[in-house]
Structure 1
Amino acid sequence: MASPQAAKRQKSSKDVPYELIYWPGIPGRGEHIRLAFEEAGAEYTDTAHEEGGIEKVMAAIDPKSTGDDLNPPTCAPPVLKHGDLKINQTPNILLYLGPRLGLVPSAEEDEDAVYKINALALTALDGLSNEAHDCHHPVATSKYYEDQTEEAKTKSADYIANRLPKFLGYFEGVLSGEASKGGEFLYGGKLSYADLVLFQCVDGVKFAFPKALARLEKEGKYERVFALHESVKERPKIKAYLESERRQKYSMGIYRHYPELDED
């Protein structure tokens, strides 16, 4: 069950379960949304665990679709359906869910907090998800990894040497700043969906580049970032989810482990 505060925010004219429409078999970009649902104790369904769920995904992104009288067509999963609302794009879905799940301060508490938290989530998704994906597909997503391995090695070497330290350093600075209110969470001294996004991004990069991340963690320059990752992992509802069968394993999604790309 959601906390009283979260349940109050979740209550709306769309007082029905949330529906997540996403590919089965990989955590993918839908994982950020699952973590928000799990932390809030929200009621939701997930096509990744439904028989025939893939058909729902394909229907949701049918290129022939023109949407309906309330919603434009959705381009790609994840897709959130909530009552008569249907939206896609991970950060957009989180922006919608944040106030309803109690994962941002209320407007009465801090009217601009949602935009600051959204900026933090967008930054994590840019540098620690999208760029991590481009390491193994730097030329074209339509080509196999084996068709661009040499380019992937060059891209990954630069990512590990320059881009990873940039983004880890940025979030270390966020956690060291006054707006963090203590350094445990990214903003305001309370868990927000940006913390869940950063957790998932760091977790995925750890899978993709275990040697590089072990070295960076050992250097001690990003202690607050890695501490946040561990802290989120141990939150009771997140821990239970991560240990359940609902948590899908990394494989051939955004985060892929190719030993030849991982520099220690």
Structure 2
Amino acid sequence: MSEAPAAKRQKASTPDDALPATYKLIYWPGLPGRGEHVRLAFEEAGVVYEDTAMHEDAVQTVLAQISTDNLATGSAPNVPPLAPPILEHGDLTISQTSNILMYLAPQLNLAANTSSDDPNAIYRLNALVLTALDGLSNEVHDSHHPICTSLYFKDQRTEAIRSSKQYVKERLPKFLGYFERVLKAQAERDAENKWLYGTEFTYADLVLFQCLDGTSHQFPRAVKQLREGGEYERLFALYEAVKQRPNIAAYLASERRQAYGEGIYRYYKELDVVPDDGAEAEKKE
């Protein structure tokens, strides 16, 4: 079991300056998963948080939350979550990755420009996050489980090869191209800007980093080919810039960063295709 996170330097502020409640992330153990986006936000901000994935009873904690017997959570009018990640903070219990991040980002100073000067910024950031999660997380997962999640990979292997071929040929370039276009637009406003929105680093950059990192794990050959093609220089520069941020670099080198395995991003040799050899891989079936 990995060590529990060390105490961080910064705590989230509260209106009355009282000691804030500890953030509690509830997620499955043994894989980064969708909970990783929340962890990265905490790690970048340097806040104290509890990660139940590091506890011995991690599975039981998740199951208690998503059980059909769970009709309410706590005294506040929280709705029971369907699936993790789940965040508990004081009396609040919420789920859904993008929803959790929308709540956390302003508190963790990861939602730049979300002020009276730009009150709609959080929605623009959320649009970027949802796009990354759709195309570089959900679709990547569905490439190795194209029929349904309840079947083993071996039971849908032929379909997964076909799905992966189509993904790296059509969908992956589409989403990489979109984020490259967003970054180009930002650079046209300010040549020094390297982030997705505004001139400051935000949680959208963190989410895109993790999505691209996971996609690179599942499709290393395809991502390498696209990166070397030179059409997405801004996107991969952002990826490297996030990776080198001090708190993120320290986290990635720590035992708290869980290895990819049987989660969203999975490596199967037969799915490690590029567009020009995907058809050949399928013929071998």
**How would you bin the TM-score normalised by the shorter chain?**
over 0.9
Question: Displacement, 1:146?
Answer: 0.5
Out of 112, 123, 143, the position equivalent to 1:115 is 123
- Is 1:9–1:102's contact at 8 Å kept on the other side of the alignment? no
> Which consecutive residues of structure 2, in runs of 5 or more, have no partner in the other structure?
1-7, 275-285
Worse-matched range after superposition: 60-69 or 135-144: 60-69
1:135 aligns with 2:135: no
Q: TM-score, normalised by structure 2?
A: 0.87
Q: Which has the larger radius of gyration?
A: 2
Which residue number in structure 2 is paired with residue 194 of structure 1? 204
**Aligned pair count?**
262
Which residue number in structure 1 is paired with residue 107 of structure 2? 100
Opposite residue 273 of structure 2, the aligned amino acid is E
- For residues 95-114 of structure 1, the C-alpha deviation after alignment (integer angstroms, 9 at most, x for no partner) is 10011111112323421111
Question: Partners of 1:220 and 1:85 in 2: how far apart?
Answer: 45
Worse-matched range after superposition: 43-52 or 181-190: 181-190
Flag as ranges the 4+ runs of structure 1 deviating above 6 A: 9-14
Which residue number in structure 2 is paired with residue 91 of structure 1? 98
- Is 2:145–2:160's contact at 8 Å kept on the other side of the alignment? yes
- Is 2:14–2:20's contact at 8 Å kept on the other side of the alignment? no
Within 5 A, what are the aligned runs for 1:4-153?
7-8=12-13, 15-68=20-73, 69=75, 70-105=77-112, 106-153=114-161
Worse-matched range after superposition: 222-231 or 196-205: 222-231
Q: TM-score, normalised by structure 1?
A: 0.94
Question: Displacement, 1:2?
Answer: 5.3
Which residue number in structure 2 is paired with residue 212 of structure 1? 222
Which residue number in structure 1 is paired with residue 272 of structure 2? 262
Determine what percentage of the aligned residue pairs are the same residue: 54
Opposite residue 250 of structure 1, the aligned amino acid is Y
Question: Partners of 1:195 and 1:178 in 2: how far apart?
Answer: 13
- For residues 15-34 of structure 1, the C-alpha deviation after alignment (integer angstroms, 9 at most, x for no partner) is 21100000000000000000
Question: Partners of 2:15 and 2:174 in 1: how far apart?
Answer: 36
Worse-matched range after superposition: 175-184 or 165-174: 175-184
- Is 2:242–2:248's contact at 8 Å kept on the other side of the alignment? yes
Worse-matched range after superposition: 228-237 or 182-191: 182-191
- Is 1:10–1:102's contact at 8 Å kept on the other side of the alignment? no
| Secondary structure, counterpart of 1:119 in structure 2 | helix
Question: Displacement, 1:80?
Answer: 0.2
Question: Displacement, 1:259?
Answer: 1.2
1:159 aligns with 2:167: yes
